[in-house]
Amino acid sequence: MEYPPSICIAATDLPESPSAQAEEVAMRVITHLLDARIDRTDLRGGPTGLHDFDATVGSRTLAFEVTACIDSTLARFFAVPDRDAIHWGVEGLRRSWVLRLDESTMLRGLIEVLAPLLRQLEDAGVTGLGKPRIDDFETFIRYEEGSTAEVAPSVIEACFAAGIDTAWAIVREADEQVVVFERRSRHGSGRTEYMVTEEVNRAARAKADVLGREAARRRDAAHLFVWLDPNLCREGIEFAMWSGYPSAAPRPILPESIDHVWVAMWSLTPGEGIGYVNVWEASRDGEWRYAIPHSA
């Protein structure tokens, strides 16, 4: 399998807060990619509602707003309006799970079928499972760090036969354990690059107002940086960024206030991880591409 390119950044002394960490990583990534000078704008005690930082590249100044797809996404999982799609306290599971289902899969009685399969995935240390891409015959399986077990092929086949398109283990909060069902992207199994654009489009709509304010309009261009947390983001995103191809993803739909968008996460290429970042970028009317060092 061809691994996506990654860039190396300093990953030491990062803040503990997920949102603050996302901003710090974004500043380091943009400094590396654009050889930019960074100036924080949204400072404690200063004016409220400003974008997060400015990046000066040559004679141009770019306004950047950073958003982390972490807690807000999990909140959507827990706020699914179809309460039959949420199953609390499935006996014997150590983690919470988010399952993206084939479109025709029926929910009635499904949890009773899937619960023993999820237990077997956990026993083998599996934290991520995904069907192959349309043009790739390799099933995606992610194991927790340090795991030496291997899930039986029959378990994987049973998961797919039951209607699972992707399955992702997420952090279990205190004593609350949940299995959440979501419908697969209408674009078909394996085309999980679509989920990257879906996530970015949501983030762009949410941040359009900040980058449309006067402070950002005075800059030469407005950029949105979307950070995807590999543990607490939508189940398909990690698979998409690990094996996906930017050219396979639909173009993002950016509001008028946003000129350019970046999307990034820690690299999942074996031997890399924290300190290495996979980055996509796209302009308003352009296609996704891998981000490499270049001038604005």
- Write the DSSP assignment of 251-279 as a string of letters: PP---TT--EEEEEEE--STT--TTEEEE
Overall pTM > 0.85:
no
pLDDT-derived band at 137 (thresholds 50, 70, 90) equals low
Block residue for tokens 């930082």: 53
Environment class of residue 88 by beta-carbon count within 10 Å: exposed (0-12), middle (13-18) or buried (19+)?
exposed
Per-domain residue ranges for the chain? 7-71+192-290, 80-183
pLDDT at 134: 54
| Alpha-carbon radius of gyration of the chain | 20
pLDDT-derived band at 184 (thresholds 50, 70, 90) equals low
Q: How far apart are CA 29 and CA 35, in angstroms?
A: 10
Percent of the chain with pLDDT over 90: 37
Most confident of 113-122, 160-169, 225-234: 113-122
Mean pLDDT, residues 137-142 taken together: 79
The torsion of the CA quartet 149, 182, 86, 92, rounded to 10 degrees, works out to -10
Bigger pLDDT: 259 vs 248: 259
pLDDT digits (tens, 9 = 90+) for 108-135: 788 899 999 999 999 999 988 888 755 5
Among candidates 169, 191, 196, which has minimal Cα distance to 180?
169
pLDDT at 187: 42
Residue 256 has pLDDT above 70, yes or no: yes
Mean pLDDT, residues 17-38 taken together: 92
